Amino acid sequence: MRRGIAILLLTLGGAVVLVGCSVSTSLVPAMAEQDGRFGVDTEVRQPFYSESNGLHKLTIQFNPEGFSGSQVPIDPSRGAGIELHYAPGSDPRFPEPSFHSWPEHQEWLGELTGDVVHEQTFCTPYPDLSGIELRVATYGADLSSGTGTLKPFETVEVLHLPVVGDHVGFLPGGSEVEVVGSTEGWARVVLGDEERGWIDMEHFAELPEPMRSNNEDVMLELFELDSDEPIREAVVNAEEMFDISHVAFEFPVVEDALDQCYRFRLTSPESEPGNAVTFRYDPDGPYEDGQAILNGDPVEGDIVFQPIYDLQDPLYSGFLDDYEFAAPLDAFEARFDPVDHTADRYLEVRVTSGEGSVNVPWSRNRPPGQRPLEVVGDPDAPGGGLIFNAAFQRDIPVVDVARTSGRDLYSRARMDRPFFAGMAVLLLTTVVAGGMAWRRSGVDGR
Amino acid sequence: MSRLRSARERIGQVFQGPFNKWLIAIWVIAILIRLALAPFAAHMDLYSIYSRAAEAAYDGEWLGWGSQIVVQSIHNVWLFILKPLLPGAEDIWSATAGVFGVGVQGHEFERFLGYEYLSRLLFLLKLPYILADLIAGALLLRLVSPDRRVLVSALWLLNPLVIYTTVLFARHDSMAIAVMLLGVVLATAGKRYLGLGFLLLAAVMRFFPVLIAPFFLIAYRRTRRELFYLASVLGGGWILIDGVAWGLTGDSPTLTLLNRYPHVNYLFELAIPLYRFPFGQTLELFLFPLVYLLILFWYYEREPAGTRDLIPAATAVYSVVFALTFFHPQYAIWLVPFMTLAVARYRFLLSLHIVQIILLLLHTLQWGAATTTELFLPLSVEAVSMLPDPRNVIAAQMPLDLFFALVRTALAAVSIWIAYRLMTMSYRDDAYREHEPVLERSTST
């Protein structure tokens, strides 16, 4: 009987080991402490890093006005929706640094003329790939230093940085201003002895003459990793590119890009020296899933790039009013079918208000990934994180854990053979000595 | 062959009798478990204490770290002895482990894990702990009758709490436990003052033996006058040392312990607020000191005598410690030595202790991967990274704070119940009709 039970247990244990275990794990051990609340009339988005696959539960804190937590109304959120999306824009794995950062160790590749071919391999953890964003320089094709004239009749705002900088001041329409450079299609202007600012070049009626003109097509072709047949291509004329700025090469969506690896190729067959652009390159090679191939030579570094996605469908969609109130957590939660392909990716929870505003608590502790929440249409939203948790149906790769442990153990044994040989002798001696003592010893408890 | 036989007889003398098959099996399995696991698991604490020892062994700063000086000195000397066996190990230690309030940095520990001879290093670093484990096991056998040796050996040597602390977490507490048990064995054998000396040495090594020192004095006193003198000498000595240190350094060690040392503060964590002082602070009633003193008074009134009466009291005290104070998981080993002796006398405690062990292991999950899966980082960093944090597994099922509160409550209930049962059963009046000699010259169970 005992032997039978032992065999059964061993069989079950073996089966578990061979098949692998599955366990539900949470995103964070405990939801963050609340530091404040704010009302949302539009949509609040919270990107986060997901370590595991199989996201199947969301738990979120929200408190509509007048709801104390002790009596849950039928429609606590008044029709608010909740969705889960991929958030590739928050994913830091690609070599593209933050928008305004131009690290000094990075360099320009040199003019992309007709005889030059630059390539970069990469893998995409998200579907619906629709383009590649690069950093380009045009050798002063926007303007040179000198005096520019603003368009008449409109007051122009000057920012501390291009596109999204803080407000510096205003200049009256038609005024002349000293221009000393450009980036992202914005001109850098001198406001006073020490003060500088940025004005969108569209506000200028006249700018200093550019240092040169580039007018040939630049082509980006997308290949599957080991193929020479392009599956997508995008062309941008060099004339449309701004100096020291981002440029997007957009192509029809590659829907099945999830977990696929590709190679993109940059060429400009008609360009010649003096009529060509250049792209940004990071010689340190920060990108782990690919590398640059410059004129056919694989190198350590990476072209500075970021994939562009056209993600439409949410991974999960629901209504907060359908969520059940979990009293110990003072939060609402719902389970749904596990969502695949969430491991090692950035996701985003989006809460969209319904008939009324949603009162959302926030915390200074952001979720994994450390990205701040964003509220659509409200740049002054708190810079903290949404208070929520998620659960994943996760496989524990028992076989892989055992195999990896065995491999590393073997590796250690090879590195220190005398010790492991001694250890084997010690273990063997203990067993043998124990066995001998067992044979010679009594059985009566003495 | 005759040499083998004489060696066997000598070992047999240590065990006070010929071998038993099951006793051998338990000891062999216990040794095998320790040998097999020692090279592949450790907590950052091990790296921390040996990094401080490296300041002595490699740089000659033998008194660089003033805290826990006895334990630290043992590590200093041991690492100094090991140096020739550890090629290239001079650069693997933490530069900040000895800086109070800073400690080991993550990248330093990663460097340690990357050491070429890491398995050998871990095994050698833990060797004193393993030996202390075995010595403590042997000492425990001196405190029970032969028919209980198998049980006591199993409860100590195969106890998950002991294996966890000594081999997996790699803490040095078993060294202080062995010294404490040596003190008890010596006192049992009639060498009371020597025994007291070892108990005090253990108390200098780790704080926990301090808690049973009053019980020890009471259990082994011959007369009340002797007890008074001993308590006066110890108390007076403490005050004298404290006063001298205060005069020399401007700081009282006692007050420094009370004001700064977090582990002392843990004893006062559980408190009932009584009223607010006019200056805004709250007067609190500390629960653990209250219960501890109650046990001590109750114990004193029962006129306990010898080891037989020390064991239940010490078991009760340590049970109450782990019921009413905050503690880190590696300290739970202190629950075990007297518990094994108590279980040997009262078998009903076995099931309660097993429940205690399960609850303590669950309690350990509170610190997540740091005290569970990450202990195996020396085996394989990559394999450990594949495993989920136990806290996240629990949190996916229920709120973490609720889970650990329930575990802790159950642990407190079981531990207090053990203490209560032990106290009431061990010191009933009828047990004292026949007074045993105050100092036992043979084991009495």
Structure tokens at A277: 């652009």
Q: Cβ separation of B380 and A405 shorter than 8 Å?
A: yes
CATH number, domain containing residue A172? 2.30.30.40
Mean pLDDT of B89-114: 87
**Cα A222–Cα A245–Cα A219 angle in degrees, nearest 5:** 25
Q: Please indicate, yes or no, if residue A28 is contained in any of the structural domains.
A: yes
Given CB atoms, is A22 within the 8 Å cutoff of chain B? no
Q: Last residue of a domain, which of A303, A325, A360? A: A303
Same domain, A292 and A223: yes
Same domain, A68 and A21: yes
CA distance to partner chain A, nearest, from residue B209 (Å): 32
Q: Cβ separation of A328 and B402 shorter than 8 Å?
A: yes
Structure tokens at A128: 């619906």
**Regarding predicted confidence, which is higher, B18 or A77?**
A77
CA distance to partner chain A, nearest, from residue B172 (Å): 22
Q: Which of B337, B319, B395, B376 is nearest to B199 (CA)?
A: B337
Same domain, A298 and A252: yes
Using an 8 Å Cβ cutoff, are B113 and B376 in contact? Answer: no
Q: Please indicate, yes or no, if residue A122 is contained in any of the structural domains.
A: yes
The pLDDT score that the predictor gives to residue B136 is 97
Q: Which residue has the tokens 């929200």?
A: A62
Q: Which residue has the tokens 């002054």?
A: A380
Given CB atoms, is B391 within the 8 Å cutoff of chain A? yes
Q: Last residue of a domain, which of A378, A396, A414? A: A396
What residues of chain B lie within 8 A of the CB of A59, using their CB?
none
Strand segments (E) across A283-344: 292-294, 297-298, 302-303, 305-309, 316-319, 324-326, 331-339
Using an 8 Å Cβ cutoff, are B377 and B384 in contact? Answer: yes
Q: pLDDT of A352-376, one tens digit each?
A: 988 888 888 999 999 999 999 999 9
Same domain, A234 and A267: yes
Same domain, A84 and A159: no
DSSP annotation of A274: T
- Count other C-beta atoms under 10 Å from residue A74's C-beta: 5
Same domain, A29 and A160: no
What residues of chain B lie within 8 A of the CB of A434, using their CB?
24-25, 27-28
- For residue A200, give every residue at least 6 positions away whose Cβ sits within 8 Å of its Cβ, in sequence order, or none: A162, A185, A186, A187
Using an 8 Å Cβ cutoff, are B177 and B334 in contact? Answer: yes
Helix, strand, or coil (residue B59): coil
What residues of chain B lie within 8 A of the CB of A394, using their CB?
388
Q: Please indicate, yes or no, if residue A8 is contained in any of the structural domains.
A: no
CA separation, residue A143 to residues A98, A109, A242, B143 (Å): 25, 21, 10, 93
Residue positions counted in chain B: 445
The pLDDT score that the predictor gives to residue B303 is 85
Residue positions counted in chain A: 446
Q: pLDDT of A99-136, one tens digit each?
A: 888 999 999 999 999 999 999 999 999 999 999 999 99
Q: Please indicate, yes or no, if residue A9 is contained in any of the structural domains.
A: no
- Count other C-beta atoms under 10 Å from residue B240's C-beta: 11
Q: Last residue of a domain, which of A354, A380, A396? A: A396
Is the dihedral angle over the CA atoms B433, B439, B444, B445 positive or is it negative?
positive
Question: Rg for chain B (alpha carbons), in Å?
Answer: 23
CA–CA distance, A408 with A239 (Å, rounded to integer): 55
What residues of chain A lie within 8 A of the CB of B150, using their CB?
445
What residues of chain B lie within 8 A of the CB of A441, using their CB?
18-21, 23-24
**Regarding predicted confidence, which is higher, B70 or B289?**
B289
- Count other C-beta atoms under 10 Å from residue B249's C-beta: 10
Structure tokens at A353: 């208000």
The pLDDT score that the predictor gives to residue B39 is 96
Q: pLDDT of B198-215, one tens digit each?
A: 999 999 898 899 999 999
Q: Please indicate, yes or no, if residue A32 is contained in any of the structural domains.
A: yes
Q: Which residue has the tokens 């871990």?
A: B122
Q: pLDDT of B151-188, one tens digit each?
A: 999 999 999 999 999 999 999 999 999 999 999 999 99
For residue A386, give its domain range.
14-90+342-396
Which residue type is seen at A2? R
Structure tokens at A174: 């038609």
Same domain, A298 and A222: yes
Same domain, A118 and A230: yes
CA–CA distance, A54 with A50 (Å, rounded to integer): 10
Mean pLDDT of B244-271: 80
Same domain, A244 and A288: yes
Using an 8 Å Cβ cutoff, are B37 and B376 in contact? Answer: no
- Count other C-beta atoms under 10 Å from residue B226's C-beta: 14
Q: Please indicate, yes or no, if residue A433 is contained in any of the structural domains.
A: no
Q: Cβ separation of B386 and A400 shorter than 8 Å?
A: yes
Strand segments (E) across B236-373: 271-276, 282-286
Given CB atoms, is B222 within the 8 Å cutoff of chain A? no
Same domain, A163 and A114: no
Same domain, A127 and A254: yes
Q: Which residues of A116-152 are buried (b: 16+ CB within 10 A; e: fewer)?
A: bebbbbbbbbbbbbbbbbbbbbbbbbbbbeeebebee
Q: Cβ separation of A26 and B399 shorter than 8 Å?
A: no
**Domain count of chain A?**
3
Q: Cβ separation of B399 and A30 shorter than 8 Å?
A: yes
Partners of B422 in beta bridges:
none
Given CB atoms, is B400 within the 8 Å cutoff of chain A? yes
Tell me the three-class secondary structure of B252-304, residue by residue.
CHHHHHHHHCHHHHHHHCCEEEEEECCCCCEEEEEHHHHHHHHHHHHHHHCCC
Q: pLDDT of B264-303, one tens digit each?
A: 788 888 999 888 877 778 888 999 999 999 999 999 988 8
Q: pLDDT of A237-295, one tens digit each?
A: 999 999 999 999 999 999 999 999 999 999 999 999 999 999 999 999 889 999 999 99
CA–CA distance, A250 with A222 (Å, rounded to integer): 11
Given CB atoms, is A379 within the 8 Å cutoff of chain B? no
**Cα B375–Cα B377–Cα B379 angle in degrees, nearest 5:** 110
Given CB atoms, is B1 within the 8 Å cutoff of chain A? no
**ipTM for this model:** 0.84
Q: Please indicate, yes or no, if residue A401 is contained in any of the structural domains.
A: no
The pLDDT score that the predictor gives to residue A291 is 93
Same domain, A162 and A202: yes
Label residue B219 exposed, middle or buried (CB < 10 Å: 0-12, 13-18, 19+): buried
Low-confidence ranges of chain A (pLDDT < 70): 1-2, 4-5, 12-20, 64-71, 442-446
- For residue B360, give every residue at least 6 positions away whose Cβ sits within 8 Å of its Cβ, in sequence order, or none: B161, B322, B329, B332, B335, B411
| Helix segments in B85-159, DSSP class H | 106-113, 118-141, 149-157
Model-level pTM greater than 0.80?
A: yes
CATH number, domain containing residue A272? 2.60.120
Q: Cβ separation of B120 and A416 shorter than 8 Å?
A: yes
